């Protein structure tokens, strides 16, 4: 889709600034431009029966009558398919907070631009819109709700597969590992993402059914990759819920060794979607897994139940910085400070720092400046099945 095919709505109460933005859009070849002096008028434009279709809204935050926050709330409730760009001269930390609010309201947020707006800034945002439309950020179809019985039947029918996302050493560009992410390859509904089944399995006490399927298939894949000369580690997610069973560590170790690989070639990413209620057996399992040689990663660090307290309890070898901190790192001074502190802490604790959700060259360059060890995300590659991973590894020698 070319820029001049897009419809824009500029929501800005200052006449001069609004005109400057309109002029920039026209210079970029955009012809379908609507204007509004505030949120109320913008909603009228969007709701008008004869209105030109709007693909992207550029919205100021500090406006009279209805400010940008209220407008974004209404936009999320009634026009959530429209992409949005926030414009503001406000403090960066405040803009970052509004961005999180917008996403929480279900808005497709392309990003935020500090004023003054320039053609270069707008071109970047428009390119992000094109990427979204081409499907690069929409890997999976819309989900329906599945029952526990349907999910367990899918596991029984061997419909669950690991999709692998490469991990890259930022300093060298070398591919050092891959995370095995559970996907339900449904015969009718296509590839189903984890949020449709993980929580249901955890709450019902059935998460181990999936965990051991993923472990076995990931270990087998790791052995195949090594046989083909790709000496990378493979990571598998392990729910805290599973750790209440003190036999878990021995069962995992037996499965991995039986697959023909050594425990040190696998990393277990501890996901904290639930609180650690059975402290003692969980710590026993994790200590035993570490003693056997497995790497241990604290996943999604900084969210949910992940905390510095967990780092003091468990002998982690990796700290994974959650994508919510990485996504806006190039724009937010606050996020850069948080990520930098996490990287430095990991280094001092002799843990590797891994940033997930790396989507742009700017993210990569910023993380490289901060001396982050490893990157994972769409900038490198999206999750893929095993055959695609093998093709990728044979074609790509390094990432820059």
If one counts every other C-beta atom within 10 angstroms of the C-beta of residue 64, the result is: 10
Tokens read off for 267 = 């990393």
Q: Burial level of 391, CB count in 10 A (0-12/13-18/19+)?
A: exposed
pLDDT at 135: 45
Q: In this predicted structure, what is the pLDDT of residue 51?
A: 58
Give a yes or no: residue 250 inside a domain.
yes
pLDDT less than 50: residues of the chain: 1, 135-143
Residue ending a domain, choose from 81, 108, 133: 133
312 is a domain residue: yes
Alpha-carbon torsion angle 316, 213, 180, 182, nearest 10: -110
Q: Render pLDDT for 9-28 as a digit per residue (tens, 0 to 9).
A: 999 999 999 999 999 999 98
CB distance 268 to 238 below 8 Å: yes
* Number of folded domains that form the chain: 2
CA distance 349 to 341: 12
- Assess whether 173 and 291 both reside in one domain: yes
- Whether 156 and 115 map to the same domain: the answer is no
pLDDT of residue 383: 95
Q: Which residues make Cβ contacts (< 8 Å) with residue 362, sequence separation at least 6?
A: 330
- Rounded CA gap, 332 and 312, in Å? 29
Beta strand ranges found along 21-117 (DSSP E): 32-36, 56-60, 83-88, 108-114
**What is the pairing mode between strands 175-186 and 160-169?**
antiparallel
| 58 in a structural domain | yes
Q: Are residues 264 and 333 in the same domain?
A: yes
Tell whether 15 is covered by a domain: yes
Q: Are 91 and 62 in contact (CB under 8 A)?
A: no
DSSP-derived secondary structure letter, 62: S
pLDDT at position 95 is 77
Residue 260 within any structural domain of the chain:
yes
Query: What would the two tokens of residue 215 be?
Result: 């472990």
- In the prediction, which pLDDT does 3 show? 56
Domain match, 68 and 199 both? no
Spatial CB neighbours of 12, under 8 Å, sequence gap ≥ 6: 18, 21, 35, 36, 37, 58, 60, 63, 87
In sequence order, what are the residues at sequence separation of 6 or more whose Cβ sits closer than 8 angstroms to the Cβ of residue 80? 105, 106, 107, 108
CATH code at 19?
A: 3.40.50.2300
- Clarify whether residues 242 and 369 are in a common domain: yes
Task: Answer yes or no: is 141 within a domain.
Answer: no
Task: Tell me the C-alpha to C-alpha distance, in Å, between residue 117 and each of 41, 77, 162, 206.
Answer: 22, 27, 43, 51
Q: pLDDT tens digits for 97-145?
A: 788 888 888 888 888 888 888 888 888 888 878 766 654 444 444 446 8
How far apart are alpha carbons 71 and 101 in whole angstroms? 12
Is residue 208 within 8 A of residue 242, CB to CB? The reply is yes
Same structural domain for residues 127 and 177? no
- What's the pTM value of the predicted model, to 2 decimals? 0.72
Q: Give Rg (Cα) of the chain.
A: 23
Query: Same domain for 181 and 90?
Result: no
**Of 104, 133, 162, which residue constitutes the final position of a domain?**
133
CA gap 75, 109 in Å, rounded: 11
Give the CATH number, domain containing residue 349.
3.20.20.450
Whether 283 and 377 share a structural domain: yes
Is residue 23 a part of any domain in this protein?
yes
Do 225 and 274 have their domain in common? yes
Do 152 and 108 have their domain in common? Answer: no
pLDDT, residue 136, reads: 41
Cα(first)–Cα(last) distance of the chain, in Å?
28
Domain boundary, last residue among 73, 102, 133: 133
pLDDT at residue 284 in the model: 92
Q: How many CA atoms lie within 13 A of 328 on its CB side?
A: 21
Domain coverage including residue 12: 3-133
Residue 122 tokens read as 């707008």
**Rounded Cα–Cα distance for residues 171 and 187 (Å):** 41
pLDDT on residue 400:
81
Give the integer Cα–Cα distance in Å for 82 and 54. Answer: 7
CA pair distance 267, 319, nearest whole angstrom: 12
Helix, strand, coil percentages, rounded to 5, for the chain: 45, 20, 35
259 and 371 together in one domain: yes
Q: Cα–Cα distances in Å, from 87 out to 9, 27, 35, 171?
A: 13, 19, 14, 34
Same-domain status, 82 and 170: no
Q: Helix axis angle, 386-395 relative to 207-227, nearest 10°?
A: 30
**Is the residue at 229 inside a domain?**
yes
Question: What is the arrangement of strands in the sheet containing 56-60, beginning at the earlier edge strand?
Answer: 32-36, 7-11, 56-60, 83-88, 108-114
Which residues partner with 310 through β-bridges?
A: none
């Amino acid at each position: 889709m070319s820029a001049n095919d897009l419809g824009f709505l500029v929501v800005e109460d200052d006449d001069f600034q609004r005109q400057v933005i309109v002029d920039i859009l026209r210079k970029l070849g955009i012809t379908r431009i609507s204007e509004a002096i505030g949120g109320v008028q913008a909603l009228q434009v969007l709701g008008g029966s004869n209105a030109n279709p709007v693909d992207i809204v550029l919205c100021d935050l500090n406006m009279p009558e209805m400010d940008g926050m209220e407008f974004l709330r209404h936009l999320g409730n009634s026009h959530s398919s429209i992409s949005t760009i926030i414009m503001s001269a406000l403090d960066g930390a405040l803009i970052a907070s509004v961005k999180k609010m917008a996403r929480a309201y279900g808005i497709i947020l392309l990003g935020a631009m500090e004023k003054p707006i320039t053609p270069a800034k707008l071109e970047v945002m428009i390119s992000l819109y094109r990427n979204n439309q081409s499907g690069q950020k929409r890997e999976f179809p819309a989900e329906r709700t599945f029952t526990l019985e349907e999910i367990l039947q899918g596991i029984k029918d061997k419909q669950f597969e690991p999709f692998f996302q490469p991990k890259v050493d930022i300093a060298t560009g070398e591919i050092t590992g891959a995370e095995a992410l559970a996907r339900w390859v449904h015969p009718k509904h296509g590839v189903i993402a984890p949020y449709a089944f993980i929580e249901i399995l955890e709450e019902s006490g059935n998460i181990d059914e999936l965990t051991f399927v993923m472990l076995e298939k990931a270990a087998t894949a790791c052995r195949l990759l090594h046989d083909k000369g790709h000496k990378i580690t493979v990571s598998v997610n392990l729910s805290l819920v599973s750790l209440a069973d003190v036999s878990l560590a021995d069962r995992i170790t037996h499965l991995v060794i039986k697959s023909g690989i050594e425990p040190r070639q696998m990393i277990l990413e501890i996901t904290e979607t639930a609180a650690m209620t059975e402290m003692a057996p969980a710590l026993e399992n994790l200590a035993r897994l570490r003693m056997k040689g497995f790497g241990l990663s604290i996943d999604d660090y900084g969210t949910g139940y992940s905390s510095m307290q967990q780092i003091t309890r468990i002998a982690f070898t990796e700290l994974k910085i959650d994508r919510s901190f990485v996504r806006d790192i190039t724009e937010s001074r606050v996020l850069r400070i948080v990520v930098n502190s996490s990287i430095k802490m990991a280094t001092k604790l002799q843990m590797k720092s891994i940033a997930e959700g790396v989507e742009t060259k700017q993210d990569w360059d910023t993380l490289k400046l901060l001396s982050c060890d490893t990157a994972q995300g769409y900038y490198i590659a999206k999750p893929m099945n095993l055959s695609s991973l093998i093709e990728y590894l044979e074609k790509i020698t390094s990432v820059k």
